[in-house]
Amino acid sequence: MENADRLWTRPYLLLMAANLFSWLSYNMVTPILTGYTETLGGSVSVCGIVGGLFAFTSCFCRPVSGFMADHYNRKRMLSWFTLVMAVSQLVYSVIPSIPAVLVFRGIHGIGFGISSTAGLVLVSECVPERRMGEAVSYYGVMSVVTMAAGPGLGIWLSGTAGYRSCMLISSCMLFCAFAATVLFPYRYGRGTQKKREALKRQKTFSAASLVETKLIGLTCVNASFTMLNGVVSAFLVVSMAERGIEGVSWHFTVNAAVLIFSRIAMAKLVNRWSLAKNLYPAYLCGILSLLLISGTRSLTVLVIAGAVKAFAQGMSQPALQTEALRTVPPKRRGVACSTMYIGGDLGQALGPMIGGMIAQNAGYVRMYLFFILPLAATLLYFIFRERKLSSFRR
């Protein structure tokens, strides 16, 4: 019984390692990619396309990734599409061509979209059911750690050894992630021969096989939080430069540090608390962070806003992912993960685009205040959902 309740098993640790290397590679390359594209002769608009292409191709393939995770071998999915990421990044690292960057950065995003869905489903399969929230939280810490270390490492490497060397080292990280997926001992989720035959008969596309309709509302909730993150990440430096505030990087450093702390400190609480107990404080922190950023004229307030925003992220995402996995039967966890990821990808991609249009016409203060509206709208939806569920339980 004690062994059955273990979390830190070899399969789980290998998935953690694969997630760490994948996200470290991503966070090393993302901040330098526009600079690399500029050296190839790319215009500002082309740099913008390169910057957003990864998120869009990743989002585009999410529904298919959920279908695949529910009907095919998830280890093979994770391994092959991690390899797709590694090879595609290697190609646009060694070929100094804008078309190569565009094509293979897009393929890189597809590989990420499919492999990350398979990885999260495998986490749900190889950990004890009652510790799933804790497992999802720790699994997500890997991406947060690389958010703190990856950009600085990438900028330092590109400055000392050049863009190409940095991107090649980042490609090696993806090959390390691939090695971890190969070592993963897959013995989960496929069941008996009878179950496998039943799955083969069900391998037909339909709306239900691509999107979990029960999770669309929570997907919008997820999107409202990633919009917040996307718009702050995209415009904080330029908006604070306009106000004469220096040292903006401290906002991101403190945000990452507090995010790591909140994920680890609250990992066990995700198992014990209801979704509402996690989301209501997250909404409060998200709205407060936007109010602080919109009106600040000092670095101190900006740093406090980074810490507050970290609690919004750290409490919302693990709770939403865990709720998605628990809402559906195990055979539907692939499409549940992909549905939740769609909201995250869309919010991350649309936030900067909508924010840019608002900032251009109304300024940065109104832009930050505008993004309180998606949070408020999904908060109202969530309150209504909780009341409906409460009356149903009675």
Residue-wise pLDDT tens digits, 137-173: 888 888 878 877 887 788 788 888 888 999 999 999 9
Mean of pLDDT values over 380-392:
85
Domain 8-185's class?
A: mainly alpha
Asked whether the beta carbons of 328 and 150 are under 8 A apart, the reply is no
- Rounded Cα distance between 211 and 74, Å, is 18
Quote the distance between the C-alpha of residue 130 and its chain's center: 23
* pLDDT score recorded for residue 128: 84
Say whether 208-379 and 8-185 share the same fold. yes
* pLDDT score recorded for residue 390: 75
Split at pLDDT 50, 70, 90, the class of 208 is low
Q: What is residue 330's DSSP assignment?
A: G
Show me where the domains of the chain are located.
8-185, 208-379
Segment 228-258, tens digit of pLDDT:
988 887 778 778 888 988 887 788 888 888 8
pLDDT, the chain, mean: 83
- Rounded Cα distance between 246 and 240, Å, is 7
Look at 25 and 42; give whichever has higher pLDDT: 25
Split at pLDDT 50, 70, 90, the class of 74 is confident
Q: What is residue 4's DSSP assignment?
A: G
pTM of this structure:
0.72
Look at 335 and 287; give whichever has higher pLDDT: 287
Mean of pLDDT values over 180-204:
59
Segment 264-317, tens digit of pLDDT:
777 766 667 778 888 999 999 999 999 999 988 899 999 999 999 999 988 888
Radius of gyration (C-alpha) of the chain in whole angstroms: 21
For the ranges 31-45, 92-106, 339-353, the lowest mean pLDDT is seen at 31-45
Taking CA atoms, 272 is separated from 9, 278, 394, in Å, by 22, 10, 21
Asked whether the beta carbons of 48 and 356 are under 8 A apart, the reply is no
Which is nearest to 256 in space by CA: 292, 232, 224?
Answer: 232
208-379 placed in CATH 1.20.1250.20: yes
* pLDDT score recorded for residue 287: 96
